[in-house]
Amino acid sequence: MTANILDGHMHARILIDSIADELDQLPRVPGLAVVLVGDDPASQIYVQSKIRMAERLGLRGEVEFLSHDASEADLLGVIDALNARDDIDGILVQLPLPAHIDTLRIMAAVDPCKDVDGLHALNAGRLFHGDDALVPCTPLGCLRLIKSIRTDLTGCHAVVIGSSNVVGKPMAALLLKEHATVTQTHVHTRGISDICRQADILVSAVGKAGLVRGDWIKPQAIVIDVGTTRVEKPEGGYEVRGDVTFDEAVRVASAITPVPRGVGPMTIACLMENTVKAAKARSARLQ
C-alpha cells in the first residue's frame, strides 16, 4: 500500500480557477510587483515563475531588479515608491537578500496592506492572534494540501520541523487556528524522530535532503515536504530533493507531497490569491 501523492500542480490549478472568478468583481486589474536583488539563478527562476502565473491569470506583474551590491537605502527607496503607487496591490521582496541587507528592516518597510508574502510583523501578529491577515504563501499552500485530505484538523497532532519566519512559525500558527495540537521542532530539539512518530500531520521545512526517514513517520500520517535541496548526482548534474526520504515515506504515509511538483506550485497560486485579496481590500477602503 502506498500513499496518495498530492499533486501540487493539480491543486494549484483548482485554486487559480477559483481566483479567476473573483477578478470580475474588481474595478481594475490588480498589480503585483516582485523585487529581486542580485542575480542568483534560482531566485530568477522563482521570480519569472511568479510573473508568468500572474500574467496567465490576468494580473499585471512587474519586476524591479537591483544589483547584488545595491545598498539597503536603494532597496528601501524602491519599496517606498511601490508603496505609494495606486496601481500596485501586492509587493513581494524575493528572499534571500544579500548578507549586507537587514531582511527584517526590509520586510518592515513594505506596506502591510500590500505585503502579499505575509512577512510584515503586523500580518504575523494578526495571524498569531487568529485575526484576518495576509498569510505567508508557502504555509498557506501547505494547509490547503493538508485540508484536501482531511478537512477537520481538530485534535490532530501536527509536528512542524523548522521554525523560520517564512514557513515554520506561520505553519504552526495556521495549524493552531485549525484546532490542531502543534509541536514545533528545530535544530536544538532532542529526540526529534520520536516526536515525529507521534504526528498525524508532519510538515518538514528545513532544507536538509533526506532528513526524515520512513521510520520517523506514523502509519497513515499526512506528510508535507517543503524542503528543496540541490544534490549532485553521481553521473553528473543536479537533482532537487526534499527533506523527506520519499521512497521510504510513501510506503507509510496516507498522503505525501513529492519534491518537486508538490508545495512549490501551491506557493505561487497562494501568492496570486493574496494579491487578489489585497486588491479587493484596497478597493473596499477606497469606496
| Active-site residue list | 50, 94, 117
Q: Would you state the cell numbers that stand for residue 56, as one nine-digit string?
A: 496567465
> What is the distance of C-alpha 192 from the center of its chain?
23
Phi, psi of 47 (to 5 degrees): -65, -45
* Helix (H) or strand (E) run with residue 126 in it: helix 121-128
Instruction: Compute CA distances 180 → 83, 130, 140, 158, 177, whole Å.
Output: 36, 14, 15, 6, 7
- C-alpha to C-alpha distance for 285 and 57, rounded to whole angstroms: 24
Phi, psi of 217 (to 5 degrees): -105, 130
Instruction: Compute CA distances 212 → 103, 126, 181, 209, 220, whole Å.
Output: 29, 31, 21, 8, 15
162 is in an annotated binding site: yes
164 is in an annotated binding site: yes
- Report the SS3 class of residue 160: strand
Beta bridge partners of 244: 212
Q: Would you state the cell numbers that stand for residue 91, as one nine-digit string?
A: 509587493
- Report the SS3 class of residue 227: coil
Which of 274, 223, 202, 222 is closest to 15 using CA atoms?
Answer: 274
Classify the C-alpha dihedral 164-15-157-6 as positive or negative.
negative
- Report the SS3 class of residue 222: strand
- C-alpha to C-alpha distance for 116 and 92, rounded to whole angstroms: 6
Binding-site positions for NADP(+) read 162-164, 228
Binding-site positions read 162-164, 228
